[in-house]
């Protein structure tokens, strides 16, 4: 596992994973998401000490990415009926093996999701007490033997780089409130369900201090459930570096905390406790880049704007959370541009998109406060690359302003593979009907 290191991002680049950006643009156009397969595999390997790496596919759910992590031994988490179907479409079997390939983790069952988990025998991770009763009743109605269930516990505290990414504490909707755990144990028994696992996740971007607090809360919760437990999940939330100088999490120290926790529980209960981790952003964020073209450069009073052909319909994290993404410039002029590039000065720039919304700004802080970024001088037609865009980016894409969903490309084995075609106008309106 890697130790703490700092990260540095360039402000100007010519290639992604060895592929010239101008060549990628010529083949796939803009805006386009590109993912470095080797980087995803590297992050998977970082977590090899854990018994189970269960990918939170909501971070980046393209079938090609799911297939990639599946082939490297990663299991999957699904938060909706659609994600269950995606996982199966990517080659995951609903059941089988020492650990369940797919687990449904959510705070509710919509009717389709409940039907799917019952039909396919998919284990569930309950985030609300009502789910325990609904699952028990549905399994009895289908005359099926219930599986062991997992409970997602809200320990009463949370953490995250934004209140919108904080998934613990009383202002979060996620998980079963820790004071209701004993009642949930009773509910499970009344429905002939056995609680075999516990899961905790307090938010994204959490630091070691908060992550270690989760271990203590998990241990307390485990003793309420008792020796039926066979697994605990550390959840997700591992920090991803987005800014120059950001520290990487000490994964070895983090694993040691959880390993000690599960060993104490194994000793207390007299049985083996499997240790899972549920990364999402950690596996894919650094692999992804959004390539866009600068279509206008304009001065607005004291502010200079680079306006792109990509907007928050492509990448919503800045407008949602005030999220920071590293940015780089690549000249469109090829080799000649590379020579000129070294002489380009840095300047303060506000980077925005094409949408008819004042909030369509990539350089903003939480609360919608616009800020500038130091980037090299550029010209219309140059490319701006938004880095660390491999998680919670393309999956949040929309058709706002009737913009098509961007193309997606996987950079693997020295080749660029299109893994989602750019959406056409006809595909965009295919489900719309004018009444006659």
Tell me how far apart the alpha carbons of residues 14 and 29 are, in angstroms, rounded to a whole number. Answer: 16
CA terminus-to-terminus distance, the chain: 62
Residue with tokens 């980087």: 39
> What integer pLDDT is reported at residue 334 of this predicted model?
58
Cis peptide before 31 (omega within 30 of 0): yes
**Which residues lie below 8 Å from residue 247, measured CB to CB, with a gap of 6+?**
4, 5, 6, 239, 241
pLDDT at residue 116 greater than cutoff 90:
yes
Higher pLDDT, 209 or 200: 200
Among the listed residues 34, 215, 356, 371, the single catalytic one is 356
Helix (H) or strand (E) segment spanning residue 14: none
Main-chain dihedrals φ then ψ at residue 433, nearest 5 degrees: -135, 130
**pLDDT tens digits, 336-386:** 444 445 568 999 999 999 999 999 999 999 888 999 999 999 999 999 999
- Domain 285-425 sits in CATH at 2.40.37.10
> What integer pLDDT is reported at residue 158 of this predicted model?
54
Main-chain dihedrals φ then ψ at residue 232, nearest 5 degrees: -130, 150
Residues of the chain with CATH 2.40.37.10: 285-425
Pick the closest to residue 321 from 165, 157, 159 (CA basis).
165
Can you name the CATH fold of 48-278?
TIM Barrel (3.20.20)
Residues of the chain with CATH 3.20.20.10: 48-278
Is 34 in the active site? no
Q: What is the mean pLDDT of residues 170-178?
A: 84
pTM of the shown model: 0.93
Count of all residues that appear for the chain in the document: 436
**Which residues lie below 8 Å from residue 208, measured CB to CB, with a gap of 6+?**
249, 250, 253, 254
Q: What is the mean pLDDT of residues 181-193?
A: 96
How is the chain split among helix, strand and coil, in percent rounded to 5? Answer: 35, 25, 40
Tell me how far apart the alpha carbons of residues 200 and 183 are, in angstroms, rounded to a whole number. Answer: 18
């Amino acid at each position: 596992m890697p130790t703490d290191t700092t990260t540095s991002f360039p402000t100007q680049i010519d290639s992604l994973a060895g592929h010239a950006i101008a060549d990628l643009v010529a083949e796939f156009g803009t805006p386009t998401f590109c993912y470095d397969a080797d980087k995803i595999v590297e992050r998977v390997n970082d977590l090899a000490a854990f018994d189970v790496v269960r990918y939170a596919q909501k971070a980046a759910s393209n079938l090609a990415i799911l297939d990639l992590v599946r082939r490297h031994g990663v299991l999957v988490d699904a938060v909706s009926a659609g994600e269950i179907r995606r996982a199966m479409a990517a080659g995951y079997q609903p059941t089988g093996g020492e650990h369940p390939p797919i687990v449904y983790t959510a705070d509710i069952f919509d009717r389709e999701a409940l039907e799917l988990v019952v039909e396919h025998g998919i284990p569930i991770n309950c985030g609300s007490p009502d789910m325990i009763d609904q699952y028990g009743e549905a399994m009895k109605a289908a005359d099926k033997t219930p599986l062991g269930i997992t409970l997602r516990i809200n320990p009463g505290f949370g953490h995250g780089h934004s209140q919108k990414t904080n998934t613990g504490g009383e202002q979060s909707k996620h998980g079963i409130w820790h004071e209701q755990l004993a009642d949930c144990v009773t509910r499970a028994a009344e429905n002939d369900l056995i609680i075999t696992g516990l899961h905790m996740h307090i938010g994204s971007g959490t630091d070691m201090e908060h992550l270690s607090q989760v271990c203590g809360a998990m241990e307390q919760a485990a003793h309420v459930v008792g020796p039926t437990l066979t697994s605990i999940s550390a959840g997700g939330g591992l920090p991803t570096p987005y800014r120059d100088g950001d520290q990487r999490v000490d994964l070895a120290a983090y694993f040691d905390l959880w390993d000690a926790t599960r060993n104490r529980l194994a000793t207390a209960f007299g049985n083996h406790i499997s240790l899972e981790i549920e990364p999402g952003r950690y596996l894919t964020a650094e692999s992804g880049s959004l390539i866009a073209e600068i279509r206008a450069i304009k001065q607005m009073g004291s502010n200079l704007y680079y306006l792109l052909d990509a907007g928050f319909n492509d990448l919503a994290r800045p407008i949602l959370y005030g999220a920071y993404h590293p940015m780089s410039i690549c000249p469109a002029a090829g080799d000649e541009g590379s020579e000129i590039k070294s002489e380009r000065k840095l300047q303060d720039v506000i980077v925005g998109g094409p949408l008819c919304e004042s909030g369509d700004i990539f350089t903003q802080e939480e609360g919608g406060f616009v800020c500038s970024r130091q980037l090299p001088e550029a010209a219309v037609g140059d490319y701006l690359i938004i880095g660390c865009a491999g998680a919670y980016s393309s999956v949040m894409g929309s058709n706002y302003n009737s913009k098509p969903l961007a193309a997606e490309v996987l950079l693997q084995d020295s080749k660029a593979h299109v893994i989602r075609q750019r959406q056409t106008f006809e595909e965009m309106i295919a489900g719309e009907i004018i009444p006659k």
